[in-house]
Structure 1
Amino acid sequence: MSKIVVIGGTGLIGSKVVRLLTEHGHEAVAASPNTGVDTLTGAGLAAAFAGASTVLDVSNSPSFADADVLAFFTTATGNISRVAAEAGVGHYVALSVVGAARMTDSGYMRAKVEQERLIADSGIPYSIVHATQFFEFVGAIAGSATVGDEVRLSSALIQPMAADDVATAVARTTAGAPTGTITEVAGPEQFTLADFVRTGLTFREDPRPVVVDPEATYFGERLSDDMLLPGEGAQLFETRFADWLPLNPPPAR
């Protein structure tokens, strides 16, 4: 089977993808600063890419400040593209976000769109997977939207999914042939953003009230009703939020 280098391979999605690819007989190499690979300096990339057929990037910026996240994705993608081309890598895969191109007020989403552009222009055959928000980040969404003792959120629609399902989608794409396009993946149910977070907080006995606020932003973006939803033809996975919650308790306080 093929050698696949997973940039960000020790993180939430990356570690799951490495396990899935290994179970299916591939040589999956987890590449991250923890394993001696630094995409910002290029250190370790040439050694990691030697003999590789595919590179998958599921890494993320350590800072979400607008300038920092743009610098991270442009620098990392430039280094990955250059070294992958020199190594003869034949498939460049990246994980991005459903609706990223629509969220122009978000510095993070602008950076992800630029990452996608650089990959498409790299000359390496590519595939990009757009996923909806993960169930795992319901707490982070609540935290970012907390004002005083309230969580203030939009009533825009969201169709979130489990990280395990994201990893499955990404692993399938990575093991396949380049598509030269974007594949969207999502969960089976739509919620309003407020209801999604309220359900998660209620299950976890978090007392913060969730208030619908039309002026609330989502990581810097004021949402329209369908901005976070996938389009027709998206691949839908089966894990439901109500089934996921009991199996994924929050970290111990």
Structure 2
Amino acid sequence: MNIAVIGGTGLIGSQVVKNLNAAGHQAVPHSQSTGVDIITGQGLEEAVSGADVVVNLTNSPTFDDASIGFFQASMDNLLTASEKGGVGHFVILSIVGVDQVPGLDYYRAKVLQEDLLKGGPVPYSIVRATQFMEFMDATLAMTTDGDTVRLPRTPIQPIAAAEVAAVVAEVAAGAPLNGVLDISGPDVYPLDELGRLTLTAKGRAGSVVTDDAAGMFAVVPGDVLTAPDGARITATHYTDWLAGR
């Protein structure tokens, strides 16, 4: 199977390409570094020409309201090129609970991306994942002031990026879901506790203060970022992942 992986050189995309090729498919990574620009459309038709499947793993460079324009333009261009090229399956990676957090511009932008795909001309699959374990350092950095990190008690169910990539590759190689597959790690933590575990494991100085008004996750209602009923639960525990780094 010929598979064009747009954003195929990033954290998830590079692993998706590796997994697909190891399974006997012909997966080709595409990104700005290979001459493909999803906003201007440069190189897109050539990238998807002859592809049975397109996997779009690109991401907005910002998390503010500019992300809405990014996903609108990129999906318009990608879907147009995919329809013209006769692509039979289009896959994107999204976020568990994304449609339940209207207070975040970036989440509203991801909902738009999903809606454009659902209403588009190509059979599709959407994989929604919980927060990546690899992003915990960035989450801490967003609310760090000196040696103090302020984090809310928002429930988080972190998942390893390698497991996300494995599922995306599996879905890409299968029949279109024309729906959503939710995936998550096995353990739920309040975000402030997750921060304390991370600092301790890394031997970093500082302390975590519980502050339910701190950072982007403060506007998340309840436990919407944790696995819903029917989600696929992966194997890697956050504490084991930390110990193995």
Please list every run of 5 or more consecutive structure 1 residues that lacks an aligned counterpart in the other structure. Answer: 249-253
For 1:222, give the aligned amino acid.
V
Moved more, 157-166 or 201-210: 201-210
For 1:216, give the aligned amino acid.
A
- Say yes or no: does 1:72 pair with 2:70: yes
Residues 155 and 193, structure 1, Cα contact 8 Å, conserved in 2: yes
Picking from 175, 178, 182, the partner of 1:180 is: 178
Match of 1:251 in 2: none
| 1:209-220 equivalent positions in 2, closer than 5 A | 209-218=207-216
Match of 2:108 in 1: 110
In 2, the alpha carbon distance for the partners of 1:238 and 1:79 equals 36
- Say yes or no: does 1:229 pair with 2:226: yes
Residues 157 and 226, structure 2, Cα contact 8 Å, conserved in 1: yes
Match of 1:24 in 2: 23
- Say yes or no: does 1:193 pair with 2:229: no
Q: Matched residues, percent identical?
A: 44
Moved more, 136-145 or 209-218: 209-218
Residues 126 and 181, structure 1, Cα contact 8 Å, conserved in 2: yes
In 2, the alpha carbon distance for the partners of 1:125 and 1:13 equals 22
Residues 217 and 223, structure 1, Cα contact 8 Å, conserved in 2: no
Match of 1:4 in 2: 3
Q: Deviations over 1:36-86 (max 9, x none)?
A: 11101111111111110100011111222322x111111001000000000
Moved more, 48-57 or 239-248: 239-248
| 1:1-253 equivalent positions in 2, closer than 5 A | 2-67=1-66, 69-218=67-216, 221-248=218-245
Residues 101 and 221, structure 2, Cα contact 8 Å, conserved in 1: no
Aligned residues: 245
For 2:5, give the aligned amino acid.
V
In the TM superposition, residue 247 of structure 1 has moved relative to its aligned partner by 2.4
Runs of 4+ with deviation above 6 angstroms = none
In 2, the alpha carbon distance for the partners of 1:89 and 1:34 equals 23
Tell me, what secondary structure is at the counterpart of 2:40?
coil
Q: Deviations over 1:130-189 (max 9, x none)?
A: 000011011000011224532111112111010000001111111110011111000011
Q: What RMSD, in angstroms, separates the aligned Cα atoms of the two structures?
A: 1.1
In 1, the alpha carbon distance for the partners of 2:75 and 2:220 equals 28
Please list every run of 5 or more consecutive structure 2 residues that lacks an aligned counterpart in the other structure. Answer: none
Residues 153 and 211, structure 1, Cα contact 8 Å, conserved in 2: yes
Residues 61 and 73, structure 1, Cα contact 8 Å, conserved in 2: yes
